[in-house]
């Protein structure tokens, strides 16, 4: 039996405490699978005296400064669970790698903004930088794309990467309630933060998508190249109309290689009913990877929570204990491509557009004239209600067109005096 692998945990919040509990409860199983014991020798957190459900009194050094933990002689692997793209979290990871420590992190923001640089740093030090828990919580999607599907060129990688948004959209469909009411409920249940912007505005999904795109396409992580749009503008009417047209609205992150570069998009989508991604409800996450040999692989499971995320953290630790050290983004950093971002204006697709218009003669003629002028054809149209002088919904489904053309259409529709609210545009995806 080899010497124990000594672990230092920086950050003892929900996930950090979950890691401690899992290591304690599964220690015999993990020793058997690793061929050596996994031993926590150091921890660091803001609240030293909080009850975390596990004994830290014996054999564990408490570090007030996580950066001291990162270079401590009695630590082999630094587990960064502080969070945030800058500040102490980044300093801990950089200090650990420079001190010759392996690093495991659940920090998607750090990897999205600095992943390529940190990967190069890890490779120079001949140490691991592992992050299974950063994308999809307990779903082993990083390992699947990097290793299990390594023989494939990926035609598409996409998925539901944020449980808060998926919960909100699912609840809106089930209850008929609008976004604001469901968001308040999600905050009350702990599914959404007091400031939900990170989730509902698509930033969290974009962080994770940029990591998946790098893995799938062998490119430097390019978070600035992600087109991002959140779900605040989705209304109960849109959920209802989507169902009538045979779709369900999901916030998706989508990546693919095009002739113009890597396309990375985060926005609400009309997902066809019956497609695997449309059936994923609640706080669950799902990732679909389409390989040229393996075909479509679907990975579904809990995207957050102490247990699932801790499980993913431990999976990385087990790899290190087995001495399975791989380039963080599948290919060595020196071989990662600096691919351009495919311009969103050139995206081709069909669109759902909901207008609120005054019920007056000539409104439909004005709308269709604008569409015709921009060369955008209408596949189907629904007008509901009769309320002379008041706003009524008009819903259009377009044939495939270019994003730039659609933007021109929306700008002109918004300028019509008969249109009383900003148009709602949702892209329709073939999945």
Catalytic residues: 208
Q: Is 386 helix (H, G, I), strand (E, B) or coil?
A: coil
Q: For the stretch 183-205, what's the b/e string if a residue is b when 16 or more beta carbons lie within 10 angstroms of its beta carbon?
A: beebeeeebbeeebebbbbbbbb
Determine how many CB atoms are found less than 10 A away from the CB of residue 136: 30
Tell which phi-psi region holds residue 295, choosing left (phi > 0), alpha (psi between -120 and 50) or beta. Answer: left
Q: How many angstroms separate the CA atoms of 345 and 262, rounded?
A: 13
Which candidate, 97, 99, 76, 89, places its Cα nearest to that of 7? 76
The span from the CA of 56 to the CA of 272, in Å, is: 50
Phi, psi at 219, each rounded to 5°: -120, 160
Q: Are 80 and 10 in contact (CB under 8 A)?
A: yes
Q: Which two tokens stand for residue 56?
A: 């830290």
Whole-number Å distance between alpha carbons of 205 and 225: 13
CA distances from 359 to 73, 365, 386, 398, 419 (A): 74, 12, 7, 22, 10
Question: How deeply is 35 buried, as exposed, middle or buried, from its count of CB atoms within 10 A (0-12, 13-18, 19+)?
Answer: exposed
The 8 Å CB, 24+ separation contacts for 334-339 are 334/120, 335/218, 336/116, 336/119, 336/214, 336/218, 336/219, 336/220, 337/217, 337/218, 337/219, 337/220, 338/219, 338/220, 339/217, 339/219, 339/220, 339/222, 339/257, 339/261, 339/262
Q: Do 319 and 112 touch, CB atoms closer than 8 A?
A: no
């Amino acid at each position: 039996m080899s010497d124990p692998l000594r672990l230092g945990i920086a950050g003892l919040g929900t996930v950090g405490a979950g890691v401690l509990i899992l290591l304690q409860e599964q220690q015999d199983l993990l020793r058997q699978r690793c061929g050596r014991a996994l031993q926590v020798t150091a921890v660091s957190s803001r609240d030293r005296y909080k009850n975390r459900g596990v004994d830290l009194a014996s054999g564990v050094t408490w570090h007030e400064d996580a950066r001291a933990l990162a270079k401590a002689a009695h630590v082999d692997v630094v587990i960064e669970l502080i969070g945030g793209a800058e500040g102490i979290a980044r300093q801990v990871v950089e200090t650990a790698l420079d001190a010759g420590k392996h690093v495991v992190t659940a920090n998607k923001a750090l990897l999205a903004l600095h992943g390529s640089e940190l990967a190069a740093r890890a490779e120079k030090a001949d140490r691991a930088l592992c992050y299974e828990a950063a994308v999809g919580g307990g779903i082993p999607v990083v390992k699947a794309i990097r290793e299990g599907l390594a023989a494939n060129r990926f035609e598409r990688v996409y998925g539901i990467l944020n449980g808060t948004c998926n919960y909100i959209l699912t609840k809106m469909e089930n209850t008929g309630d609008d976004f604001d009411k469901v968001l308040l409920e999600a905050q009350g249940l702990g599914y959404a933060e007091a400031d939900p912007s990170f989730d509902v505005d698509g930033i969290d999904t974009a962080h994770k998508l940029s990591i998946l795109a790098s893995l799938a396409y062998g490119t430097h992580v390019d978070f600035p190249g992600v087109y991002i749009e959140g779900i605040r503008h989705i209304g109960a009417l849109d959920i209802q109309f989507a169902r009538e047209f045979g779709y369900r609205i999901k916030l998706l992150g989508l990546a693919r290689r095009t002739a113009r570069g890597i396309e990375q998009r985060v926005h609400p989508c009309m997902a066809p009913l019956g497609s695997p991604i449309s059936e994923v409800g609640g706080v669950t996450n799902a990732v679909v990877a389409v390989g040229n040999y393996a075909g479509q692989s679907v990975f579904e499971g809990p995207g957050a929570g102490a247990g699932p995320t801790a499980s993913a953290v431990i999976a990385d630790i087990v790899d290190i204990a087995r001495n399975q050290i791989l380039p963080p983004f599948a290919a060595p950093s020196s071989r990662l491509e600096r691919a351009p971002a495919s311009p969103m204006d050139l995206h081709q697709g069909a669109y759902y557009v909901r207008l609120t218009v005054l019920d007056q003669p000539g409104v439909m003629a004005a709308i269709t004239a604008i569409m015709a002028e921009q060369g955008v054809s209408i596949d189907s149209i629904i007008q509901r209600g009769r309320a002379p002088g008041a706003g009524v919904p008009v819903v259009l489904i377009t044939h495939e067109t270019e994003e730039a053309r659609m933007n021109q259409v929306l700008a002109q529709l918004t300028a019509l005096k008969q249109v009383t609210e900003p148009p709602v545009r949702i892209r329709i995806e073939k999945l």
